[in-house]
Amino acid sequence: MTSLEAAGAPLRDARIVAGPVPGDSGAGIALASHGAVASFLGIVRDHSKGRAVAGLRYECYRPMAEKVLVQLIAETAGRFDPGMAAAVAHGTGEMVPGQAALSIHVASAHRAAAFDACRHLIERIKHDLPVWKLERYADGTQAWLKGS
C-alpha cells in the first residue's frame, strides 16, 4: 500500500455551477502528502477592450463541459503529477463585475507541479471548455465574445 492509497485517492472534482463559483481557499483538497496548493480565480472585470462592462452571461453546453473538465484534469495530472488533487468549477448564467466565473485549485507534493498544473488547466479550459461569454455593456448594448 502506498502512502497515497493510505491517505485515499486524490480528489478530482469538476463541476459546472449556476451563477458565480463559490469561493474557498482550496486547502480542503490537499492530501497529507501535498505541501502546495496553487489556485486561480477568474473574476468578472468592469472593463473589456476599453468598454465599461455592467455584467456578463455565460452560456454553456453543460454535459460536454463537465466531460471536458474531467478530461482536462486527467490530462493535466498525467503530464505534471499523477498524485495531484484538483477541483475546478466554472459558473454559468448572469454575473456582475467582481464575481468569480472560474476557480481552479491544484494540490501537489511540491509547488512547481501545483503551479504548472494550475496554469496548464486554465490555458486548456480557455481553449476547449464549451462556454461562451455575452458581455453586457454599461451603454445598454451587448455582444458575444469572439473567442478568448
- Our finding on whether 7 is near other proteins (CB under 8 A) is no
Cβ distance to other proteins smaller for residue 140 or 147: 147
- Any contact of residue 63 with other proteins (CB under 8 A)? yes
Query: Is there a contact between 37 and 110 (Cβ–Cβ < 8 Å)?
Result: no
Residue whose C-alpha is closest to residue 95's, from 50, 39, 42, 38? 42
- Out of other proteins, a copy of itself, none, which partner does residue 47 contact, by CB within 5 to 8 A per kind? a copy of itself
Q: Is 144 in the site for other proteins (CB under 8 A)?
A: yes
Among 10, 14, 16, 26, binds a copy of itself (CB under 8 A): 26
Stretch that binds other proteins, among 3-11, 23-31, 73-81, 120-128 (CB under 8 A): 120-128
Distance CA 72, CA 87 (A): 11
96-111 in b/e form (b: 16+ CB < 10 A) is eeebbbbbbbbbbbee
